[in-house]
Structure 1
Amino acid sequence: MSLAMPAVGAMGAVTANAAISPLHLFLQADIVVKGVMIGLLLASIWTWAMIIGFSFTLRKASKQSSAFEGDFWKAEDIDRFYEARGKAEFPAAKVMAAGVSEWRRSTAQKVIDRDGTRDRLHTAMNSTIASEVDRLSDRLNILATIGSVAPFVGLFGTVWGIMRAFTAIAAEQQSSLAVVAPGIAEALFATAIGLFAAIPAVIAYNRFSHGINRLETRLSRFADGFYSTLSRELEAQR
């Protein structure tokens, strides 16, 4: 007898672990809760794919813009630097390209309107900065949506699972733990998946928003410096 008892206990532990495993909870859930779980899992996969992809995109844009600015301020000839590197497809280069293009159009006239040229230069570079920020942050609203909606979707699965638990109580006419536990476990599992999708989305959204704001500030400083350079050059025009 003393040798058999541990084996029975071990089998009970294995059975209990199998009963509360995520796969078992998913398989024993009804179609509504399964739909909630699948939707939240897909949202979680989408979130992590966006986090990985956007991390590389933002890091690359920041690194390229930083290197470009450093080389730009070391350049002795702006026109030569623009012809060599001004047509690259990253934010700082596009800001410079906008300024140079507007400068060339405005100073090509016989009579130069200095005040108008300054206004157009400022507008052209600021518009480019806004366009680049919008382009980079285009899909961040998806992370914000997942972060705000996923907990409520999980809560819907929770409510539905608890409703099933109470329905089982009414059908069995008893309130034992064995009757109500499956529905409650499914409900809590749906909530857990909702949080699993929402928490990384919220954290990533906040971090990426901060990164984009830093990049925007850097581009604005670069545009201000370039604007000052062009403004001094404009004063020298006769």
Structure 2
Amino acid sequence: MFDVLILQEAAADASTAAAKTVFGPMQMLEEGGVVTWTIAAILAIMSIVSWYIMLTKLFEQQKVLGQSKDAVKSFWSAPNVRDGANKLEKNSAFRQLVDDGLRADAEHGHFTDQLDSHEWMHSSLRRSQDAINAKLGTGLAFLATVGSTSPFVGLLGTVIGITGALVKIAATGNADIASIAGPVGEALYMTAFGLIVAVPAVMGYNWLQRRNKLIAERMSRFCDDLHGDLMSGGKIRPQVKAPAGAAKPAAATAKA
């Protein structure tokens, strides 16, 4: 009778101890030691830097895209290129293209050997555009690196966690399912952390690359129009649509 009571008390104590056992990321880090903490810190740094790059690049791209709509319209509504340049924001992407175009136009006459002005202007505007594209692409390589390597970093943490758990199980000799499933499940958190870091980085990289391509296309069209304007002395210019509010008075005047 007493043996039965003792066994029941032991079973109750074991169930209570199992209930008190908590599995989670913090337990994984505490049991993993320095190596697990180091891997977790690397993933955290990757995530923080990735989000910083994505937010800053999004702000830069949004600014350039806004300039490509409003500023360009005001630029081509000016009587000439120099007056239009004054309407553009200083240190902006499109202002840099205009300044480099005007500089190339002025420098062409200083060549000792004859050089085709169209070729010189085209190469100058292309260099300016490439410099802007390179600046907009800064940091995207880091996003690509994070997206491709962070799952493997997380997997490394999982392998180390599972190895440590198996070593402890072998040392204690307790190989029941409860002893194995808990530590192994904790180790899998590192793989999940790696994927959490990788997925936003990959999506952000692809999205920012697509927006950079859109900006490059708009700058290329602007450079072609600017090239035609400078080489024709202002005779070849793109047509700028007049605001809707300005068309109504003109129509009223025609009726009168």
Match 1:32 to one of 24, 28, 35: 35
| TM-score (normalizing by structure 2) | 0.77
Change in 2 beyond 3 A, CA 1:50/1:27: same
Q: Alpha carbon RMSD of aligned pairs, Å?
A: 2.7
1:73: how far off?
1.6
The superposition leaves residues 185-233 of structure 1 with CA deviations (integer Å, 9 ceiling, x where unpaired) of 3321111111111111110000001111110110000001111122222
1:15: how far off?
4.2
The superposition leaves residues 163-188 of structure 1 with CA deviations (integer Å, 9 ceiling, x where unpaired) of 12221232122321332234313321
Q: Does 1:93 align with 2:85?
A: no
Residue 200 of structure 2 aligns to a residue whose secondary structure is: helix
Mean Cα deviation higher: 176-185 or 149-158: 176-185
Unmatched tracts of structure 1, length 5 or more: 1-10
Q: How many aligned residue pairs are there? A: 221
The structure having more radius of gyration, on CA atoms, is 2
Measured in 2, the distance between the counterparts of 1:58 and 1:128 equals 17
Structure 1 runs of 4+ off > 6 angstroms? 11-14
Look up the match of 2:52. Answer: 49
Q: How do 1:116-195 residues align onto structure 2 when only pairs under 5 Å count? A: 116-195=116-195
Mean Cα deviation higher: 191-200 or 226-235: 226-235
Residue 138 of structure 2 aligns to a residue whose secondary structure is: coil
Residue 175 of structure 2 aligns to a residue whose secondary structure is: coil
What residue identity is the alignment partner of 1:218? R
Mean Cα deviation higher: 210-219 or 35-44: 35-44
What residue identity is the alignment partner of 2:38? G
Unmatched tracts of structure 2, length 5 or more: 1-15, 237-256
Identity of aligned residues (%): 26
What residue identity is the alignment partner of 1:186? E
Q: Do the aligned partners of 2:80 and 2:234 also contact (CA within 8 Å) in 1?
A: no
Look up the match of 2:208. Answer: 208
Measured in 2, the distance between the counterparts of 1:129 and 1:67 equals 19
The superposition leaves residues 67-103 of structure 1 with CA deviations (integer Å, 9 ceiling, x where unpaired) of 2211112112222223x24672121111111111111
Look up the match of 1:105. Answer: 107
Measured in 1, the distance between the counterparts of 2:203 and 2:27 equals 30
Measured in 1, the distance between the counterparts of 2:159 and 2:224 equals 55
Look up the match of 1:8. Answer: none
